[in-house]
Amino acid sequence: MKELTSGAEATIFLDKNQIIKKRVKKNYRIEEIDSVLRKSRTRREAKILEKIPVKAPKILGTNKEDTIQMEFINGKKVRDVLDENVSLAEEIGTKVAKIHDEGIIHGDLTTSNMILKEEIYFIDFGLSFFSEKVEDKAVDIHLLKQALESKHHKVAKKAFEEFLKGYKKANKFKEIMTRFKIVEERGRYKKK
Ligand SMILES: Nc1ncnc2c1ncn2[C@@H]1O[C@H](COP(=O)(O)OP(=O)(O)OP(=O)(O)O)[C@@H](O)[C@H]1O
Ligand SMILES: [Mg+2]
């Protein structure tokens, strides 16, 4: 078994065509809180992987404590290819609309959590949850926009426009955008 990467939260192993994602102990967190967090994020991710209405790794197993086995998506991180192919953002928009229409909030929409194979796959659902609230959807989009601005500075504006081309198919699109503007104002206020 080979270690692929070690992220902020988990260590990712690759075993043949299978990814093993193990959430590791964080020594800066109090032991009891740490184990509750790892367990709840693992369960959350497993549950969402079963329900997600867009391309995502197939779940192959979980111990419901700290480990999930899933399909290995052999592609490129969208983080590494978006700048030279900005129109990918439209596909991101179409897929986030589907996810939101299913009442799922991703919770960590960054281009590191998307893999391009023949199409875009979404990963990393440890912060995902079920909600139909316009507010939660608007915050999800706000986080994506911030990720575009910090990791894809040169193309961020164009990429967000492309995203909206896809996302406008979402249920309650107008309401979500009205709320999105309020969320953005709130963000600006916080920075001052
Ligand atoms: N199913 C998968 N197929 C291919 N690569 C994967 C898969 N799952 C995770 N990875 C790779 O491992 C990295 C970390 O996985 P993931 O985002 O799920 O964990 P994380 O601990 O939240 O990491 P980070 O804190 O870096 O976001 C991903 O960015 C991706 O490169
Ligand atoms: Mg991640």
Which one of 3.40.630.10, 1.10.510.10, 1.10.150.120, 1.10.3720.10 gives the CATH number of domain 76-191? Answer: 1.10.510.10
Cβ(10) to ligand 1 under 6 A?
yes
- The CATH fold of domain 2-71: Phosphorylase Kinase; domain 1 (3.30.200)
What's residue 192's pLDDT? 55
Cβ(132) to ligand 1 under 6 A?
no
Pairwise CA distance, residues 166 & 93, whole Å: 4
Ligand 1 atom nearest to CA at 8: 25
Supply the DSSP string of 147-189, one letter for each residue: HHHHHSGGGHHHHHHHHHHHHTTSTTHHHHHHHHHHHHHHHHH
Is residue 59 within 8 Å of 49, Cβ to Cβ?
A: yes
Residue 15 falls in the annotated catalytic set: no
Closest listed residue to residue 142, CA positions, set 101, 94, 104, 105: 105
Pairwise CA distance, residues 115 & 54, whole Å: 12
Query: Could you tell me the pTM of the whole model?
Result: 0.95
Tens of pLDDT along the chain (192 residues) come to 899 999 888 999 999 999 999 999 988 889 999 999 999 999 999 999 999 999 999 999 999 999 999 999 999 999 999 999 999 999 999 999 999 999 999 999 999 999 999 999 999 999 999 999 999 999 999 999 999 999 999 999 999 999 999 999 999 999 999 999 999 998 777 765
Task: Choose which residue among 18, 82, 123 to substitute to test ligand 1 binding: the one with the highest number of ligand atoms within 8 A of its C-beta.
Answer: 123
Q: What does the chain come to in residues?
A: 192
Q: Write out the residue limits of the CATH 3.30.200.20 domain(s) in the chain.
A: 2-71
What's residue 102's pLDDT? 98
Cβ(127) to ligand 1 under 6 A?
no
Ligand with the closest atom to the CA of 14: 1
Q: Write out the residue limits of the CATH 1.10.510.10 domain(s) in the chain.
A: 76-191
Is residue 60 within 8 Å of 15, Cβ to Cβ?
A: no
